[in-house]
Amino acid sequence: MNFKRTGIGSATKSGLSSGKRTLASHRNSTLVEQEEKRQDLGFGTRINSSYARLINKDGSFNVSRVHASFWHRLNLYHRLITMSWPKFLLLVFAAYMTVNAIFSILYLLAGPEYLKGLPESNTGNRFWGAFFFSAQTLTTVGYGHVSPSGYLTSAIAAFESMIGLLAFALATGLLYGRFSRPIAHVRFSRNAVFGPYLDVNAWMFRIINQRSNQLIDVEVEVSLSQLETKPDGTPFRRYYLLKLERSKVNFFPANWTLVHPITESSPLYGCTPEQLEESDAEFLILLRAVDDTFSQMVHARTSYRADEVLWGRKFRSMVDSKTSGNYSLDMDTFDDTSEVPLNS
């Protein structure tokens, strides 16, 4: 972005070249330059320790809203796509029952005598007869042992079968949307660890792809967020991008341990467990990858708080010793760590 301020000086007609001192007195601002270099992930600096963690374990954010409009909060499609399968199927079933109930009442109001073939009997029987006729119309089964006659009943039935078609179309779209939605089923280790790494120490965590579909071009960004104090004593939140020994891999067939080596340039250099806890530290993880099956971008997020970091431990190897002739990983050992002295 080579921005060149060349044009405005010659803009004599619009008069922009006169009265140059109206808005700003300083030619350059070192405060602005400092601010431009500051890391910010989008949370802002005002979130202090009285709040809970920034990113929940499942990757959602800890920000709520009041006075949002009903429709914006509802966000129907998003909800129908992201709700759990049992909830979704129950909702579909409930909607099916409700629509049938409404139409069966309409048929009864139009006159049960216009539903030819309906067993004549008491009101309860009639309702269920109309209900099942409605179901046969909505699903377009249409056996025909009960059939509409008369303008009104025929019109309701014609309308209901159209509604049935559209509802079917909707269900198709929702099911496809739910299935094809790109999700990275990446498992993050329960804890992060502080352990020795080469001739220094490092902050580390481990990930693995839980699914059989491959992830490729996997990229991980780790940020450290902690409370600091301004010269005037007011606390504010700072963000540091942590440099990883390796932040991108082409393939992700096995487990991957992410390593932030604690050299002098690290914001964690010389930090103790107590200091980490006091500063309300939170490690924010953002993972981007490409799902190989559908060539879709997928994302995963999580965070580790100070109390989820184990000191003086390292991750155990996941290679399954009992299996031979093939590179095999034991998923049960994914979260396992063992004690190890830190480099001094």
Find the binding residues for a copy of itself in span 151-210 (CB under 8 A). 151, 154-155, 157-158, 161-162, 164-166, 168-177, 179-182, 185, 194, 197-201, 210
Looking at the Cβ atoms of 120 and 332, the one nearer to a copy of itself is 332
Here the tokens at position 277 are 């806890």
**Contact call for residue 232 and a copy of itself (CB under 8 A):** no
Task: Tokens for 331, please give them.
Answer: 């998923």
Number of residues that bind a copy of itself (CB under 8 A): 189
Residue 109 CB, nearest distance to a copy of itself (Å)? Answer: 19
| Cβ proximity of 237 and 226 under 8 Å | yes
Q: Looking at 191, 238, 308, 316, which residue binds a copy of itself (CB under 8 A)?
A: 238
The tokens for 180 are 């094809």
Kindly state the smallest distance separating residue 25's Cβ from a copy of itself, in Å.
5
Number of Cβ within a 10 Å radius of residue 282: 22
Of the candidates 328, 336, 216, 285, which has an alpha carbon nearest to the alpha carbon of residue 55? 285
Pairing of strands 309-311, 192-197: parallel
Q: Give yes or no for residue 47 binding a copy of itself (CB under 8 A).
A: yes
Contact between 253 and a copy of itself by CB under 8 A: the answer reads yes
268 sits near a copy of itself (criterion: CB under 8 A): yes
Q: How far apart are CA 204 and CA 197, in angstroms?
A: 9
Residues 108-147 within binding reach of a copy of itself (CB under 8 A): 116, 119, 128, 131-132, 135-137, 139-145, 147
Q: Residue 37 Cβ, how far from a copy of itself at the closest point, in Å?
A: 6
Q: Of 242, 197, 191, nearest to 221 (Cα)?
A: 242
In the bound complex, what is the minimum distance in angstroms from residue 342's beta carbon to a copy of itself?
A: 7
Which residues in the 305-324 window bind a copy of itself by CB under 8 A? 317, 319-320, 322-324
CB-based contact 134:103 (threshold 8 Å): yes
Among 58, 70, 72, 84, binds a copy of itself (CB under 8 A): 72
DSSP 39-59: B--SS-S---TTS--SB-TTS
